[in-house]
Structure formats: C-alpha cells, structure tokens
Homo-oligomer: A and B are copies of this chain.
Amino acid sequence: MQCATCTGPVNIAVIKYWGKRNEKLILPLNSSVSVTLHQNELRTKTTIAACPNFTNDQIWLNGVEEDINNSRLQAVISAVKRRARKRKSDGETNPRLNWKLHIVSENNFPTAAGLASSAAGYGCLVYTLAKFTHFKGELSDIARQGSGSACRSIYGGFVTWDKGTNEDGSDSKARQIAPHTHWPELSVLILVVSDQTKHTSSTAGMQTTVETSELLKQRLSGLQTKEDQMTDAIMNKDFKTFAEITMKESNQLHAVCLDTYPPISYMTDTSHQIIRLVHQYNNINEDVKVSYTFDAGPNACLFMLDSEIPRFFSLVKHFFLPENGHSTVQGLPITEQTLHTDEIQKFKLSKQNGSVKYVIRTKPGPGPQVIEDPSESLVDDEGWPKPISDKT
C-alpha cells in the first residue's frame, strides 16, 4: 500500500471573489487577493492511500463517507492524474495512477464555523494527490476546479488569483505575492459568531448575483485598481491602506449580495456590531488600527498588528464574548489588557455577551505541507479511515 499525507491552509480574501464567467471551469469575473492563514490553528489534513486490491475510489470527509462521483471531485482527481501521466521523466507511467484511491480528509476546526473549509479541503486534496502521484508542477488551476478560492490555498503568505483571459482557464491560477514571513507583525483574530441561520451557499449566491445585481458591473470595473493598490500595500507593509481596502472590499461584496434578487444577507446584527466596534476603535485611535472582512457567513476575520491584540481583544471580550466563559480563546495565546471604565465608555455599543462564541488568534502561514510521520496518517495499515477517536 502506498500513502501520502499532507495538510493545507485556509485563506481569507481581502479582494473578494464573487461571480464566475464560466460555471463549469470555475473562471472568475475578477482577480482576487488573499492571506493564507497558519495551519497551526486552522488546517485540513488529507491522507491518500492506494493499493492494487482496492476495488473502488472512496472518500471520507470528517468521518463521513461522501459521494466520490461528485463532479468537482472527479474533475480534480482526473486532472491531477492526467497531468502526472503526461510527465515523461518517469520513463513510464507510475503504476499507482491506475490504483483505486482511498481519500480521507479532516479539518481541525468545525465546518459549521463557516471558515472557508472547501478552499482548504480542495487545496489540500489537490496537493496530496500531486504528492501521491509524484507530480510536480502547476496545481492551483486544478484546485480552482474544485472550489474557486481553493486555488489560493496552494500557496502560503499573500496570494493573488489572476482571473486570466484564456477560454480554457489555463491562465486562471494563483501566484504568491509574498511569503508569510514577509509581514511577521500581522495578526489575525477570527470572531466566531453564534448563528442558526442556514446561509445561501457561495456557489448559488454568486450565480444569482451575476444574474440579477445591477451594481455588480460597477464593482467589477473598479477592481483592477483596488487589486494593484492592495498588492502595493502588502509589499510595503502599509497597514492603513491594506486595512481600508480590506474593509471597503468586504462591504462592497455584501452590498452586491444585498442588491441580488432575492437579496442575500450573510452578516447578522452581531457582524454589524463588530464593524461598529472596529470603526469606533479606529476613530478613537485617530488611525486605522484594525480591519474586518466577512465572507459567506457572519464570522468576522480581523487583521491588526501584534501590538494591537491585547487592547482590542479585551474590548471584544467585554462587549461580545460569553461572561465567565471558558475556552473562548483558541490558537495563539492572548495577553489581556485591563480596560478602564472611561475607555469603555468611549464606545457607543451595548454589551451583548455571548453573541461571539469564541475567538481564534492566528497569523499568516505557509502553503500546504507534506507530513512524513506515518503515525499522523488518517488511514490504518489496511488503508481504511482510522476511527475519529484515534486522531488528535
């Protein structure tokens, strides 16, 4: 039996992807820019096992077997195999390309948290397939066909997904702008918001926006400039510009969602309260110290420099986290700061403790990683998924 195990990261778009020009190939209407988050906090792990006597391709996601015939899964599996077969340097076709695959994948964060799990999942799947088939070469355009934003999870640090212009999508792929080590002071707080609503999937949502929003066209016409400004801001570690474009981009994404018919709303009252906290915090500081971005759900992803974390977190705790709550901080440790009453009173916000369930502190991080330690594999010696309880 042959095995490969890899981990892959989540990415958070700061120039948003919303709208396809080709549904089947998943070609976007605009280029996007993202920050890859560190896998110490948020990661997908995928093991691919194969041997000549497996009878079927099978896939298990978070302990549940899923349909391997899903068209997007089939597209990426066959695309990696096809590309691996084309490599002539092996002399002959790798025999494992003809074996049936057992694919086991797990997130170390709840899918329900709404943290771009499909991007991490498809990014990691494609990367693991490539390791398994010994293919070295472009992967992001294949990951894109699983889930558009997954192409950005193939790289670490700061990443652009160039929309491309070719009809076959061959130039619609991701590239790294800068590695995660480029901006070591940049910190990320994810505020996981309590929410029972079942939200419109981003696939369905963006399709309806393309069909019905009158404002989308205007949004698209201004994006190239924003992408250039964002790239410059990242290269120059210009936090203020980075933060302002990030916030305006998030707001505009949700504006075109609201201009969709029927309208789509991903943010909740709590999301809007977080937005108010950030703007009030920046106003009080007379500088842009914190920025927010929201995807297809109510959770906030906040960017700030490390030095800002203690004070801003303490405000989040005061206004939003459960009172006397345990384990409300995950990931990197946070030192709290004592808030004075006169400092709190500057904020025109009502306390709604419990409206944010918990906070994850993380950083930008590297791209997918190969895991060599066999004890980390998600399959047993026979190539079947280990029980969930056996794994960390």
Inter-subunit contact A255/B262 (CB<8 Å): no
Q: Tell me which residues across on chain B come within 8 A of A258, comparing CB atoms.
A: 251-252, 254-255, 258
Interface residues of A in 263-291 (CB under 8 A from B): 263, 265, 267-269, 272, 275, 279
Knowing A218-B217, A219-B215, say if A255 contacts B261 (CB, 8 Å): no
Q: In chain B, what residue has the closest Cβ to A271?
A: B265
Chain A interface: which size bin?
A: 20 to 34
Q: Which residue of B lies closest to A198 (CB)?
A: B348
| B222 adjacent to A218 (CB under 8 Å) | no
Residues of B within 8 A of A131 (CB): none
Partner of A263, one of B244, B251, B265: B251
Cβ of A315 to closest chain B Cβ, rounded Å? 17
Nearest CB on B from A255, distance (A): 4
Contact of A262 among B265, B267, B279, B348 (CB under 8 A): B279
Instruction: Give the nearest-CB partner of A279 in chain B.
Output: B262
CB of A252 within 8 A of CB of B214, answer: yes
9 tightest A-B CB contacts, nearest first: A218-B218, A255-B259, A255-B258, A255-B255, A262-B279, A215-B215, A251-B263, A265-B272, A269-B269
Q: List 21 A-B contacts (CB under 8 A).
A: A198-B348, A214-B222, A214-B252, A215-B215, A215-B218, A215-B255, A215-B256, A215-B259, A251-B260, A252-B258, A255-B255, A255-B256, A255-B258, A255-B259, A258-B258, A262-B275, A262-B279, A265-B267, A265-B275, A268-B269, A269-B269
